Amino acid sequence: MADTKYTQEHEWIRVEGDVGTIGITQYAQEQLGDVVFVEVPQAGRTVAKGEACAVVESVKAASDIYAPVSGEVTEANAALADSPGDVNAEPMGKGWFFKIKLADKAELAGLMDDKAYDAFVKSLG
């Protein structure tokens, strides 16, 4: 089964093999409100952990999406250009942003698991 990890910026990464799928969490999309525009990185782009590499805009705000790990973007979710609402409807499913080939799996160790992320969100209360 794929392992999902979370950042303090409310991105998630689901890793299968050496490829991670990245999106924003349920909490993040709730905070944003109705998503109206998404900009995803181009396949082939190399990103560093913590680098802003995508943008999500809602009726409330525009937010950068940061790479939770370093690597090369292998695929972007082009469907979000026509259906940005997928981020609200299924943030952990078809609302994913991009896929990345991990440069260093050890970077995953600094991310939160489900339990830690749930506790983090509750602490924001």
Domain extent at residue 49: 3-124
Model pLDDT, residue 125: 80
Residues with Cβ within 8 Å of 29's Cβ and at least 6 positions away in sequence, in order, are 35, 87, 88, 91, 95
The pLDDT value given to residue 115: 96
Report whether 36 contacts 29 (CB < 8 A): no
**Residues 95 and 79 sit within 8 Å (Cβ to Cβ):** no
Token pair belonging to 95: 């609302």
What are the residue ranges in the chain where pLDDT is below 50? none
Q: What is the pTM of this model?
A: 0.95
Determine the pLDDT at residue 3.
Answer: 85
User: Scanning the structure block, which residue is given the tokens 């396949």?
Assistant: 43
- CATH code, domain with 55: 2.40.50.100
Total domains present in the chain: 1
Question: Can you give the pLDDT at residue 65?
Answer: 97
Percent composition of the chain: helix, strand, coil (DSSP 3-state, to 5): 25, 40, 35
- DSSP label of 59: S
